[in-house]
Amino acid sequence: MESFAYQAPDSLDAAVALLAEQREASVRTQILAGGTDMIVQLRSVDRAPRMIVDIKRIPETRSIKLGADGLILGAAVTGAELSARDDVTAIYPGLVEAADLIGSTQIQGRASVGGNLCNASPAGDTIPALIANGAICQIAGPGGWRELPVEDFVVGVGRNALEPGEFLVALRLPAAQPRSADAYLRFTPRSEMDIAVASAGVRLAVDEDGVCTEARVAIGAVAVTALLVPEAAEALIGTRLDDAACAAAAAASTAAARPISDKRGTEAYRRTVVGVLTRRAAVIARDRALGGQA
Amino acid sequence: MSEAIKAEDFKQIGSRPIRPDGLDKVTGRANFGADFSLPGMLHGRFLRSPHGHARIRSIDVKAALAVPGVKAIVTGKDFPDVEPGDIQGGEGGGDYHDMAVNVMARDKVLYHGHAVAAVAATSVRAAEEAVRAIKVEYEPLPVVLDIDTAMAPDAPLLHEHLYTEGLPEKPARPSNVAQVMESSRGDIEAGFAEADVIIERTYYTPTVHQGYIEPHACLARWGQDEQSTVWCCTQGSFDVRSMTARVLDISVSSLKVIPTEIGGGFGGKTTVYLEPVAIVLSRLSGRPVKLVMTREEVFRASGPASASKIKLKIGARKDGKLTAMSAWMAYEAGAFKGSPMVPGVMCVFAPYDVPAFKAEGYDVLVNKPKVAAYRAPGAPQALFATESAMDELARKLNMDPIELRLKNAVRDGSQAAYGPKFHAIGMEACLQAARAHPNYKRPLGPNQGRGVAVGFWFNVGMQSSAEIHINEDGTATVIEGNPDIGGSRASMALMAAEELGIPYKDVRVLVADTEAAGFTNVTGGSRVTFATGMAVIEAARDIISQLKQRAAALWNVDADMVDWVDGKVVARPGVNVEADPLSLADIAAQSAKTGGPLLGRASLNARGAGPSFSVNLCDVEVDPDTGKVDVLSYTAIQDAGKAIHPSYVEGQMQGGAVQGIGWALNEEYIFDAEGVMENAGFLDYRIPVASDLPMIDTQIIEIANPGHPYGVRGVGETPIVAPLAAVANAVNAATGLQMTELPLSPPRILAALEAAKG
Ligand SMILES: Cc1cc2nc3c(=O)[nH]c(=O)nc-3n(C[C@H](O)[C@H](O)[C@H](O)COP(=O)(O)OP(=O)(O)OC[C@H]3O[C@@H](n4cnc5c(N)ncnc54)[C@H](O)[C@@H]3O)c2cc1C
């Protein structure tokens, strides 16, 4: 590993100022959250020197606020911290499951949802779950504060929409509808310590009669970025989420996927499996939403 | 030997004490290959071939030598030309000349990752920078990546001067087939003519890696007196010594090899990659040099296991009795000759008593790293074919798969397909145990299936030495030369303690270096508990005979007037001695009075290794929508002869099962068209993780091996043989498919399911 500089500002303002200063001085900077992507990359792919700015001492990045307006999830909250919160798990079980799939017990102690999103891997597990939940990125930078939907945040493989000097502070998830739930599934040949071959996140709400009133479906690992699939959502809305509707949503995901063939799976395989996962995730979300009613 | 302990009299053999190296290993205190450092030490890095096959036009190291901190750079021309000759020792075939060229390429690179140069520098960073600064001009050549391409008449040649061996006369043209072999008995045509049912299929297995957790590592120090010392993680320090000496054209006496703790080997650490290079770098720089492979280098440039293509045909009568078997077996050797084709041919029919058979084998060169041994080298591929076909035969005949195997099983007195008459073997006992096992009766649900398969391995004896030093308080130190990869220290301590009549905890076991231990062959071939264990027992008996002499001298009687009973020297019945029996501790305390320190020793070439048979049961569930296989239950039943330390026998059975399941389900080298491995890391080279598998159930069968004083037979390799077919047969039972190509990865199964739907 090359030598590098390290700073850990303890407030939002200090972090914004430090990043602006470094940008002026044309110093390459990189944000550090849990480091489970970054340190691996620093040791293998990209070893060039840089200043590392650790955001974990900034209170806003470490807090979980659940209220009537929804959830504000600090960007550096770890998977272990998130899954310890039963109140959050009750409302966003799919997102918590997605975060919980990352790595192993050891990795869970460091890995953050924000880091997973900013790392912008096509197979990042929390990204489809965030998109399905309509999550919004809260970004701080030299120009102030801005918000951006997650589906617009990831712009390519390993690339996100942050401008120089900006960083992700938190994720904002809208308040959950009554009788609504989410679910996330990924397919990996192994049970853990693996990377998604395809994945699907579904959030949906049903009315008192069990008819689907709202739905969002997002798929992962089948294109350069996770995709929001409105056609799959449309296939669910207005139905009782019966087999035919779930199969139609599956077909919509299969059609929307733009996978490649590689060592992890062929194009045809990924298309098929992303449909299977969409169908199964829709069924889980439906059962959760209906179960919540009882 | 009148003192030989009878099985029913064992006091400590068969107990399960904690292994002597256990605490160090679980607390992280144990020192592995990469843990050693010396003052002034340099760090080395390799430049490796970016091509699967190319001629080296030129190498320019000028700019690299100018990188600050660089102390030495070596390329092929810094190594001597080595005469051809069959490799002695190690585990698996090959030639010394090839080994030298594999360690450092000369005029050609033969696989992606082949070492082209190495740099030693004051930091890893400087070494890496220098590696990047080396300029090599290559002339790329066509790559050969599979058996069919390699064997085609107009195939590009890896070695222009290689002519197929094993033919009646030298062929006119060079070839990628290094060796052919045939083994047959009986009238095969008549056998197939007599058959009511014939199964004929072609089976494929991919290139796989042993997947040991510890990458290859060594530290070498060359001295101006031409004496070198090497610390390395290896399965055989004497093998490292002889191979390195041969590759560098130096005498074995100028080299001392100190084995470190070893983090897995499974056959992959029975050869040399780093040691000769580290010594030359040390000689050129005058400083100690450490070389540690990255995981990526381990995949690309150590010794994986052969991919194979096997055409198998078996014929049977309606009653299930086999009439004939034939096999055409090709094994990939990688870039140099020496695949485990020969053991493959020898074992493909070993479990069965069949009147007529014929097996032909081909050792085939391809542009992949040279294969190394991997547990029971050649057998998993061979028995994947045999046991898949047997399963299909059972289904065709509507017969219970265990019943079919019992009908044809080799037993006492059967002539093994590979030659000798079997004596005291456990094949039938394992089959009967499997049939009676509760896991064979577990009800199965939808999409679930059960598979059965038999495993076999010959096991070997070979040379071992052991010394036992008795301390003044009657405790003991065992000195031996086999690196402990599977709990062998514990087994050696148990055998010494049993013989000497002292507690297990009073025996320490030292795995000594090549100058402190007597010559000992590799930790491989499932030989250590058998052969080195035999040496330990004999060394203990050497001590016992000295104890008897000393006690007799103290008592002033003849040595044949005393006996060794229950850990004490006693006077023979009727001999009049006015003293209490003497234990080892009693005599050790008086060693000065009785003739000096007590030291026992033995060296031997162990004969009588008994083969080990196994039967595995596997239940799976296949997800019909994704093709994913979940293993629900797995049972390994194996003949251990006598389990010295049952936990470590079970550990071998479980570990082998897990590796075999990985081979069956997900493991494979994936190459692009240029011969570049695309999945050189544990993320995409998928060995199973703990949560993928149920607890592997084990049942040890003990049919004593008459060739060992305690009845031991080797157990380390057989466990990996049965799982490939056991898993495949379970998948076939769950799906109705007939899968013949591994791995049974989800995409392959889903494609087969969809094809079957039409
Ligand atoms: C063994 C292992 C297993 C893994 N398994 C999985 C898995 O199953 N699924 C999966 O999706 N991932 C997996 N990962 C990858 C990784 O753990 C996750 O992506 C994790 O969520 C990253 O979070 P982190 O906090 O560690 O990010 P870091 O490594 O700290 O950061 C990741 C990247 O995002 C940037 N970044 C981080 N936070 C911010 C921010 N607030 N603002 C701007 N930029 C930021 C960093 O600069 C860096 O480029 C695994 C990694 C390992 C080592």
Residues A149, A169 within the same domain: yes
Query: In this predicted structure, what is the pLDDT of residue A292?
Result: 58
Edge to edge, what strands does the sheet with B448-457 contain?
B448-457, B612-622, B629-639, B696-701
Q: Does the pLDDT value for residue B32 go beyond 60?
A: yes
Query: In this predicted structure, what is the pLDDT of residue B562?
Result: 96
DSSP-derived secondary structure letter, A120: T
Nearest CA in chain B to A103: B683
Whether chain A has a CB inside 8 Å of the CB on B580: the answer is: no
Residues A198, A286 within the same domain: yes
Q: Which of A198-212, A222-236, B572-586, B623-637 has the lowest mean pLDDT?
A: B572-586
Q: Does the pLDDT value for residue B427 go beyond 60?
A: yes
pLDDT digits (tens, 9 = 90+) for B102-142: 999 999 999 999 999 999 999 999 999 999 999 999 999 99
Q: Does the pLDDT value for residue B589 go beyond 80?
A: yes
pLDDT digits (tens, 9 = 90+) for B711-751: 999 999 999 999 999 999 999 999 999 999 999 999 999 99
Residue A179 falls within a domain, yes or no? no
The CATH classification number of B399-459+610-757 equals: 3.30.365.10
Angle CA(B374)–CA(B380)–CA(B385) in degrees, nearest 5? 155
What amino acid is encoded at B23 in this protein? Answer: L
Confidence of residue A45 (pLDDT cuts 50, 70, 90): confident
Residue of A44, A194, A197 to mutate for B, most B C-beta atoms under 10 A: A194
User: Given the CA of residue A33, which atom of ligand 1 is nearest to it?
Assistant: 30
Residue where one domain finishes, among candidates A145, A174, A203: A174
DSSP-derived secondary structure letter, B443: -
Query: In this predicted structure, what is the pLDDT of residue A3?
Result: 73
**Residues 6+ away with beta carbon under 8 Å from A11:** A58, A59
Return mean pLDDT, chain A.
95
Q: Does the pLDDT value for residue A145 go beyond 60?
A: yes
Query: In this predicted structure, what is the pLDDT of residue B8?
Result: 64
- Nearest CA residue ID for atom 15, ligand 1: A37
Q: How far apart are CA B629 and CA B613, in angstroms?
A: 27
Query: Chain B: nearest CA to A226, how far in angstroms?
Result: 20
- Interface touch B686/A189, C-beta < 8 Å: yes
Residue of A36, A47, A100, A191 to mutate for B, most B C-beta atoms under 10 A: A191
Residues A25, A46 within the same domain: yes
Ligand 1 centroid distance, CA of A110 (Å): 9
Phi, psi of B625, deg, nearest 5: -90, -25
* Residue A22 domain boundaries: 5-53
Residues A170, A83 within the same domain: yes
Q: Does the pLDDT value for residue B607 go beyond 50?
A: yes
Residue of B132, B626, B630, B663 to mutate for A, most A C-beta atoms under 10 A: B626
A264-289 residues labelled b (16+ CB within 10 A) or e (exposed):
bbbeebbbbbbbbbbbbbbbbbbebb
Ligand 1 centroid distance, CA of A112 (Å): 6
Contact B489, B648 (CB under 8 A): no
Residues A161, A239 within the same domain: no
Whether chain A has a CB inside 8 Å of the CB on B673: the answer is: no
User: Candidates A23, A108, A118: which one to mutate for ligand 1, based on the most atoms within 8 Å of Cβ?
Assistant: A118
Residue A264 or B176, more confident: B176
Query: In this predicted structure, what is the pLDDT of residue B3?
Result: 45
Return mean pLDDT, chain B.
96
Which residues is B385 bridged to in the sheet? none
- CA-CA-CA-CA dihedral for B256, B258, B259, B260, to nearest 10: -150
Q: How far apart are CA B696 and CA B53, in angstroms?
A: 42
- Interface touch A269/B751, C-beta < 8 Å: yes
Residue A111 falls within a domain, yes or no? yes
Query: In this predicted structure, what is the pLDDT of residue A46?
Result: 80
Confidence of residue B576 (pLDDT cuts 50, 70, 90): confident
Residues A197, A118 within the same domain: no
Residues of chain B above pLDDT 70, percent: 99
Query: Which CATH number is A127's domain given?
Result: 3.30.465.10
Query: Which CATH number is A280's domain given?
Result: 3.30.390.50
pLDDT digits (tens, 9 = 90+) for B50-95: 999 999 999 999 999 999 999 999 999 999 999 999 998 888 789 9
**Residues 6+ away with beta carbon under 8 Å from A222:** A198, A257, A258, A259, A270, A271, A274
Residue A181 falls within a domain, yes or no? no
Residue A183 falls within a domain, yes or no? no
pTM: 0.96
Contact B266, B525 (CB under 8 A): no
Residue A185 falls within a domain, yes or no? no
Residue A180 falls within a domain, yes or no? no
Residues A265, A248 within the same domain: yes
pLDDT digits (tens, 9 = 90+) for B279-330: 999 999 999 999 999 999 999 999 999 999 999 999 999 999 999 999 999 9
Query: In this predicted structure, what is the pLDDT of residue B480?
Result: 98
Helix (H) or strand (E) holding B332: strand B322-334
Residues A31, A49 within the same domain: yes
The interface predicted TM-score of the complex, written ipTM, equals 0.94
Query: In this predicted structure, what is the pLDDT of residue B2?
Result: 37
Query: In this predicted structure, what is the pLDDT of residue A294?
Result: 38
Whether chain B has a CB inside 8 Å of the CB on A67: the answer is: no
Confidence of residue A23 (pLDDT cuts 50, 70, 90): very high
Ligand 1 centroid distance, CA of B670 (Å): 26
Q: Could you give the residue range(s) of every CATH 3.30.365.10 domain in chain B? A: 7-30+461-605, 399-459+610-757
The structural domain count of chain A equals 3
Ligand 1 centroid distance, CA of B662 (Å): 28
Residues A13, A115 within the same domain: no
- Which CATH code of 3.30.1360.120, 3.40.710.10, 3.30.365.10, 2.60.120.620 fits the domain covering B7-30+461-605? 3.30.365.10
User: Given the CA of residue A99, which atom of ligand 1 is nearest to it?
Assistant: 21
